[in-house]
Amino acid sequence: MLFKNNSLNLFFAFLGGLFLLFLVAPLLNLMLAASPAKLFETASDPVVSKSIGLSLTMAAVATFFSALLAVPFAWLMARSKFRLKHLVSGLIDLPMMIPHSAAGIALLGVINRESAFGQFASNLGIDFIDRPAGIAVAMAFVSVPYLFNASYNAFSGVPLRTEHAALNLGASPIKVFFRISLPLAWKGVLNGLIMMFARGMSEFGAVIIIAYNPFTTPVLIFDRFNAFGLKNAQGISALFILISLVVFIGLRLITKPSEDVRN
């Protein structure tokens, strides 16, 4: 239908072409600018490889701990009706809406070494500023709404009567959550985990405020660009995009459910 010889369709297809070009051209240009030899050379740089390792690890840590808090809460929200529900949903979306540097500043106000929470964490041996823990917190702060929203939608799609049926058949509420609700919502939750991980590892604005050092790859790209210019930053950018692609395609393949359990 899209390619029917209809002038409106043709016009929309033309607009779509411009849109796709806008998305693909800069990435393609970047990949073409970086030769395989240059990519290899960039990858061999220990600072680069360390930053990639840090970005991936902290994104995974942020996703894991956020999941423990956000996924059960998403279920609770999906099952609750209360007057201020829209307000709570809006609050959760807030970190996505505000400039990420501002999010970083807001976060810094709470976790800096002089703050009550910062001191409390410091007494427990956890420091955030210029530490991997701070990077994970910054990543989690700005990317957890993706996980929450995907999980919320997935749980909303699980029929309430299915959970009622499980309760009725003698399963306790916690068993119903782990054996019925979560498996039925798993595909959506998994998408949320992947989106959060992806958004987290690419985070720049909030991370640079909390931890300029140690370098995550987005901060390193910025640092190299500032110090050595565009050409130097292109290699590492291309390499990170390539790694992101490999990671996501890999994750999608590994975690692809054999069938849609909710049909």
Partner 1 sequence: MLEIKNLQKSFPGFSFGPVDLKIDQGSHYVLLGPSGSGKSLLLELIAGFQKASFGEISLNGNNLLQLPPHKRGIAMVFQRPALFQHLSVAQNIAFPMKATKVSEREIRKITFELAEQFSIEPLLKRRPASLSGGEAQRVSLARALAMKPSLIMLDEPLSSLDVQLRTQIRRYLLSLNKEGLTMLHVTHDYEEALRLSSHVGIIQNGTIIQTGKPEVVFRNPASAFVAELSGIRNYFKVRLENLPGQSNKIASINGLAIKLYSDSLSSDGFILINEDQIILSTEIHQSSAQNNFTGKIVTYTKRPVGNEVEIDIGIRIFAHISDESLNRMTLKPEMQVAVAFKLAAVRFLEL
**Under the rule (CB under 8 A), what is the footprint of partner 1?**
159, 161-162, 164-173, 175-176, 180, 183-184, 186, 259, 261-263
Comparing CA positions, the residue from 198, 185, 181, 194 lying closest to residue 255 is 194
- Taking the least distance from each CB to partner 1, the nearer of 186 and 225 is 186
**CA distance linking residue 247 with residue 240, whole number of Å:** 10
Q: How far is the CB of 251 from partner 1 (least distance, A)?
A: 21
Question: Minimum distance from CB of 70 to partner 1 (Å)?
Answer: 22
Compute the least distance from the CB of residue 69 to partner 1, in Å.
24
Question: Is 185 or 238 the residue whose CB approaches partner 1 more closely?
Answer: 185
**Closer by beta carbon to partner 1, 114 or else 260:** 260
Q: How far is the CB of 263 from partner 1 (least distance, A)?
A: 4
Instruction: Give the Cα-Cα-Cα angle 94, 99, 103 (nearest 5 degrees).
Output: 65
Q: Which is nearer to partner 1, 60 or 171 (CB)?
A: 171
Do the Cβ atoms of 239 and 34 come closer than 8 Å?
yes
Q: What is the Cα–Cα distance from 158 to 63, expressed in whole angstroms?
A: 23
Cα 136 to Cα 127, 129, 158: the distances in Å are 12, 11, 31
